Structure 1
């Protein structure tokens, strides 16, 4: 049975689609059968693997509206082992059409029966907490949450965890977290370093060891309709997503568990009131409480030992070059 993983964060610009596309390509490179489902009406994952948003291309909307079958809307890509159910401009209308439903199981109902054809089904969700995203949360087995290494990217984490809690308590009690992924890391800034470090401290065992760097090559790849794996195979971005793919494989065979009784480090009250670092810690602590509540309900598995992560310092100044 294919593992259904939703890449989700309601905040835009955190590397969500970049992660969905490149993690899928890296998993396919490892020899896995991977399906990427573009549930975002913007269609960036679709164009990011070289497919088209033309009206003549059948995709997720046609599957949800029962106009075409699973096989008819599943398309091969230039990457061996990677298939795609594309988005389309019609998908924007699905938000309105699904609003009248109370089940929220539509995407699960159309994906589950055929998911066994793949090892991984990666769902790229919209950058919102609307009906489409909720339907994706109901369909998913696990969540991968990309978080940009900047302060504002953390502010929406608590709202996301609250929404996930509602889904777990209702329509998808078996939903679990695959992990938090630190993205757009800029080693030249103290804030990136601080966010990356404190995420690991506040969510021990839950943060992927892999850190995705901010590089020009990662930004360029979608404009050529390619993943970073094929666009620049030796770049720091490609190596990072290969490392993430290895971690995903490891974690899906041995799901992570939040250590019992570990509530995270406690910051002094004075720092929370007076310093930017304190505001960061306060935001993280609030999110941590929600995360612990969610993980405590259903986690019984053994903790994961992350695989070796390649050194990102070998990149040839990717964050500053122009091409």
Structure 2
């Protein structure tokens, strides 16, 4: 096993497909023979719900073994990992208490690096090929923590009239983060919720392709009801219906990401 690659999925606009992409790329990487740890950094618990049913996710959230408790205690997050039913795919679950994480961070020394320190032993021991982190749709101290802990950030952008709204703020924030985490790279921008019958996709693609030094993934994710059905079943799309269009698109994206990260 080579050096662990840490990738986060972030966008300050909600509804861009961060959690869905994080879960399905994570599962896709296991299909490439990789061992993957997912970290749910959002109080909405969507990434956790991608692998576990509501009862288990709420039990995680109410226990003392979730990401919020680990960050609050500045603990080694190795002890907060739970096994999923999917081979080589583990999770550090979230909690609804993540809504107050900014307050918890405010009182801590070197608060921008608490998550990085929390996963340091996991990374050093090379327990996983990839660690994928789902960030909440905000810009602040916690998202800065996630970015500082990551090697790369992938930015999902939905192909809708408001999909690009606030993207400039996201890039400005990334420049600020790079002042304290200069090695952070933009892995690429992913276009999601694509309806090729509408002009929004072409407009979104043209705007993104005009950005300097920003990769736009060749793979894009089209609107597909299979996504919602797989979420309702608490399974990644490829595990739910491997023959579906979305499953094939997410597998293609996974292969593209794996090629980019050279892990």
TM over 0.5: yes
Q: Name the TM-score, length of structure 2 as normaliser.
A: 0.90
SS at match of 1:226: coil
The farther-off stretch of 97-106 and 208-217 is: 97-106
2:166 alignment counterpart:
156
Alignment of 1:1-323 (within 5 A): 1-50=3-52, 51-54=56-59, 55-56=62-63, 58-66=65-73, 69-101=76-108, 103=110, 104-115=112-123, 116-169=126-179, 171-202=180-211, 206-253=215-262
How far has the Cα of 1:148 moved from its partner? 0.6
| Deviation readout 1:269-301 (Å, 9 max, x if unpaired) | xxxxxxxxxxxxxxxxxxxxxxxxxxxxxxxxx
Q: Distance in 1 between matches of 2:74 and 2:115?
A: 14
| Deviation readout 1:172-216 (Å, 9 max, x if unpaired) | 111011101010000121222332344235457711110111111
How far has the Cα of 1:251 moved from its partner? 0.4
Would you say the 8 A contact 1:26–1:241 is kept in 2?
Answer: yes
Q: Note closer, same or farther for the CA distance 1:149–1:204 as it changes in structure 2 (3 Å cut).
A: farther
Q: Note closer, same or farther for the CA distance 1:203–1:228 as it changes in structure 2 (3 Å cut).
A: farther
RMSD: 1.8
Gaps of 5+ in 1: 255-323
Number of residue pairs matched?
253
Q: Distance in 2 between matches of 1:26 and 1:57?
A: 30
Q: Distance in 1 between matches of 2:254 and 2:163?
A: 23
Would you say the 8 A contact 1:53–1:87 is kept in 2?
Answer: no
Per chain length, whose mean CA-contact separation is higher, i.e. which structure has more relative contact order (CA < 8 Å, sep 6+)? 2
Q: Name the TM-score, length of structure 1 as normaliser.
A: 0.74
Gaps of 5+ in 2: none
How far has the Cα of 1:95 moved from its partner? 2.1
Q: Note closer, same or farther for the CA distance 1:157–1:205 as it changes in structure 2 (3 Å cut).
A: closer
SS at match of 2:228: helix
